[in-house]
């Protein structure tokens, strides 16, 4: 017998785990969380590079419906986040619902039986009435298509697959990339490496971080009483207040630009290096970097910044377009993730045998980032256009959990009839969204993980968290239809 569940969640990072907690709190018992890896944690399981940390303050990087951990510092480091995720799973007794080493390979909607038939990569099958994808936007490491990557004789790895067996002490190391992950590991490598060469495609705006461990008194205050909730609310309002900076030409954008410029001038004495580290695109177009140690690391005598673009990788190192070979022992690819596919599994097939790849041939799009017309009872967490440049992703996930719970209730109230978003509702939503996005910095002249080569912004939400909360607070059934099962054809015999 094929195991059957009412709900299958795909992925056990913050999204899948938070959804599971909320379903359980509503009394749902028939659900399973499929996780391809051997343990939970998603981003915070995979990214173990030196210096890995969250860029949102700890009090804001947690679910409001769960007990707040007593965080040790303002910005949490990866080991503390992962330990707190493990504690959350134990607190909510989620392990019985989680299947580890269970990678979804494909899912197909069976119109006759109104059920999703799921196939795992190892061949196992299961079925579910409702599928909720929680496979993340930053989960599939990407290395650019340089020729010769495999010819390199030294050690090489991606930042999300850090090889801790490779010693960097005294070595000549290359960091290809200078984005948010690289900005965290570059200062750590620079401390120990003989020499570090940083290959930069384009510079970033960098603003102060001001991280520190909490004092004993603060920890005591946060452990009891309202101090932690007050701290969370303050950070929330502060981040929401950043949002106008993502509109070029505003006062807020100018303030942030001035902050980044002052930070650069304070931290880098060499005027030539400064100019090479100063971006020439609208603030926010690429992810803002929050760091106090990246710029000082770039100014160290054992660090070289290379802005010439890469031609290829060779046995001995990295050759740039000017013909120069940069001899190195180790290459670290801080080159980010495949962020534009939004597909964590091979094939998702909806009504009429149409695949998600076909539905998204132009670009991924989903109503409120969650529903795609023709794919009944399929919901996405952290789907297309739900990423933020200014605030905690967990806040967006919380809106999605509550919205999906409303949808599950609506399905229950309609005798389990499958729910599909109307294609005209999706089209109208997407047209407005893309129109609103055109005024933001993300539409500016930079290459970023938020958009396609044609400048179509597929990753970011167009507004603040408040805007998203308002849009998702009430499920509007006018934008959906309950699908009729097709008439059963008489079987021969
Ligand atoms: C280095 C780094 C730093 C970040 N910093 C911040 C920050 O400061 N603030 C912020 O708000 N966000 C940050 N993010 C974004 C972060 O990804 C989100 O905050 C959040 O962790 C996303 O959770 P998720 O569950 O949606 O995705 P993930 O954490 O990526 O989890 C997805 C899970 O799905 C599993 N999976 C994928 N495909 C399948 C499949 N086919 N079958 C079964 N399982 C599958 C994966 O193994 C993984 O466990 C950061 C991301 C990275 C990579």
* pLDDT tens per residue, range 73-107: 999 999 999 999 999 999 999 999 999 999 999 99
Residues in a beta bridge with 108: 117, 349
Domain boundary among 333, 357, 380: 333
Ligand 1 midpoint to CA 14 (Å): 7
| 138 Cβ closer than 6 Å to some ligand 1 atom | yes
Are 135 and 183 part of one and the same domain? no
Are 307 and 390 part of one and the same domain? no
Are 366 and 306 part of one and the same domain? no
Are 356 and 450 part of one and the same domain? yes
pLDDT exceeds 80 at position 485? no
Are 352 and 287 part of one and the same domain? no
Judge whether 230 lies within some domain.
no
Are 157 and 278 part of one and the same domain? yes
| 16 Cβ closer than 6 Å to some ligand 1 atom | yes
pLDDT exceeds 50 at position 490? no
**Which atom of ligand 1 is least distant from the CA of 136?**
27
CA atoms of 394 and 413, how far apart (whole Å): 29
Ligand 1 midpoint to CA 12 (Å): 9
Residues 322-351, mean pLDDT to the nearest whole number: 95
% of the chain surpassing 90 pLDDT? 96
Are 278 and 395 part of one and the same domain? no
pLDDT at 493: 34
Are 98 and 79 part of one and the same domain? yes
Q: Whose CA is nearest to atom 5 of ligand 1?
A: 54
Q: What is the pTM of this model?
A: 0.97
CA atoms of 408 and 402, how far apart (whole Å): 10
| 104 Cβ closer than 6 Å to some ligand 1 atom | yes
Domain boundary among 282, 315, 333: 333
- Inter-axis angle of helices 393-413 and 465-472, nearest 10: 0
| 172 Cβ closer than 6 Å to some ligand 1 atom | no
Indicate the number of domains in the chain. Answer: 2
Q: Whole domain around residue 112: which residue ranges?
A: 4-140+338-482
Q: Whose CA is nearest to atom 12 of ligand 1?
A: 393
Q: Whose CA is nearest to atom 20 of ligand 1?
A: 14
pLDDT exceeds 70 at position 416? yes
Ligand 1 midpoint to CA 240 (Å): 22
Cα distances (Å, whole numbers) of residue 410 to 4, 116, 142, 425: 21, 18, 39, 18
| 375 Cβ closer than 6 Å to some ligand 1 atom | no
Mutate which of 20, 42, 58, 74 for ligand 1? The one with the most ligand atoms within 8 Å of its CB, which is: 42
Are 161 and 130 part of one and the same domain? no
pLDDT at 487: 66
* pLDDT tens per residue, range 383-395: 999 999 999 999 9
Judge whether 86 lies within some domain.
yes
Q: In terms of DSSP bridges, do strands 98-99 and 325-327 run parallel, antiparallel, or are they unpaired?
A: unpaired
CATH assignment of the domain containing 294: 3.50.50.60
Are 462 and 386 part of one and the same domain? yes
Domain boundary among 318, 333, 348: 333
Q: Is the dihedral of CA 72, 76, 82, 84 positive or negative?
A: positive
One-letter-per-residue 3-state SS of 229-260: HHHHHHHHHHHHCCHHHHCCCCHHHHHHHHHH
Judge whether 65 lies within some domain.
yes
pLDDT exceeds 80 at position 279? yes
Residues 420-428, mean pLDDT to the nearest whole number: 98
- Inter-axis angle of helices 78-91 and 14-25, nearest 10: 20
Ligand 1 midpoint to CA 395 (Å): 14
Are 174 and 318 part of one and the same domain? yes
**Which atom of ligand 1 is least distant from the CA of 184?**
1
Judge whether 127 lies within some domain.
yes
Are 91 and 27 part of one and the same domain? yes
Judge whether 344 lies within some domain.
yes
* pLDDT tens per residue, range 136-154: 999 999 999 999 999 999 9
Residue 266 sits at the vertex; the CA angle it makes with 264 and 272, to the nearest 5 degrees, is 55
Per the prediction, the chain carries an average pLDDT of 96
Q: Whose CA is nearest to atom 18 of ligand 1?
A: 393
The pLDDT confidence band at residue 488, using thresholds 50, 70 and 90, is low
Instruction: Write the burial class of residue 328 (CB in 10 Å: 0-12 exposed, 13-18 middle, 19+ buried).
Output: buried
């Amino acid at each position: 017998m094929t195991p059957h569940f009412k709900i299958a969640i795909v992925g056990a990072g913050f999204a899948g785990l938070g959804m599971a907690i909320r379903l359980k709190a509503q009394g749902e018992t028939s659900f399973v969380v499929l996780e391809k890896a051997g343990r939970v944690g998603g981003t915070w399981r995979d990214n173990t590079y030196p210096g890995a940390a969250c860029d949102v303050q700890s009090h804001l990087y947690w679910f409001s419906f769960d007990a707040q951990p007593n965080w040790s510092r303002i910005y949490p480091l990866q080991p503390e986040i992962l330990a707190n995720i493990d504690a959350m799973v134990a607190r909510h007794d989620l392990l019985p619902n989680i299947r580890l080493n269970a990678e979804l390979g494909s899912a197909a909607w069976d119109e006759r039986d109104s059920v999703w038939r799921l196939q795992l990569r190892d061949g196992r099958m299961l079925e579910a009435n409702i599928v909720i994808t929680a496979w993340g936007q930053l989960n599939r490491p990407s290395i650019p298509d340089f020729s010769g990557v495999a010819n390199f004789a030294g050690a090489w790895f991606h930042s999300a697959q850090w090889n801790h067996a490779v010693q960097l002490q005294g070595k000549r190391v290359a960091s290809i990339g200078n984005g948010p992950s690289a900005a965290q590991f570059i200062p750590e490598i620079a401390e120990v490496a003989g020499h570090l060469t940083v290959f930069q495609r384009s510079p970033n705006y960098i603003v102060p971080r001001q991280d520190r461990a909490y004092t004993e008194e603060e920890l005591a205050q946060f452990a009891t009483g309202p101090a932690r909730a007050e701290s969370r609310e303050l950070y929330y309002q502060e981040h929401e207040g950043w949002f106008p900076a993502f509109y070029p030409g505003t006062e807020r954008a100018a303030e942030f630009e001035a902050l980044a410029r002052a930070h650069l001038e304070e931290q880098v004495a060499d005027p030539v290096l400064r100019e090479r580290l100063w971006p020439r695109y609208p603030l926010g177009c690429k992810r803002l970097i929050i760091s106090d140690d990246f710029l000082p690391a770039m100014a160290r005598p054992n660090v070289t910044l290379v802005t010439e673009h890469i031609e290829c990788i060779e046995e001995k190192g990295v050759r740039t377009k000017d013909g120069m070979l940069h001899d190195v022992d180790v290459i670290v690819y801080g080159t980010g993730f495949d962020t534009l596919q939004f597909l964590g599994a091979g094939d998702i097939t909806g009504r009429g045998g149409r695949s998600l790849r076909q539905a998204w041939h132009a670009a991924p799009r989903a109503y409120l980032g969650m529903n795609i017309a023709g794919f009944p009872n399929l919901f996405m967490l952290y789907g297309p256009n739900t990423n933020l440049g200014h605030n905690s992703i967990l806040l967006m996930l919380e809106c999605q959990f509550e919205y999906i719970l409303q949808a599950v209730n609506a399905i229950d109230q309609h005798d389990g009839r499958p729910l599909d978003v109307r294609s005209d509702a999706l089209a109208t939503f997407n047209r407005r969204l893309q129109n609103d996005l055109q005024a933001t910095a993300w539409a500016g002249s930079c290459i970023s993980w938020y958009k396609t080569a044609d400048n179509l912004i597929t990753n970011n939400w167009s507004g603040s968290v408040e805007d998203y909360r308002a849009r998702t607070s009430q499920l509007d059934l006018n934008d959906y239809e309950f699908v009729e099962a097709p008439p059963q054809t008489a079987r021969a015999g």
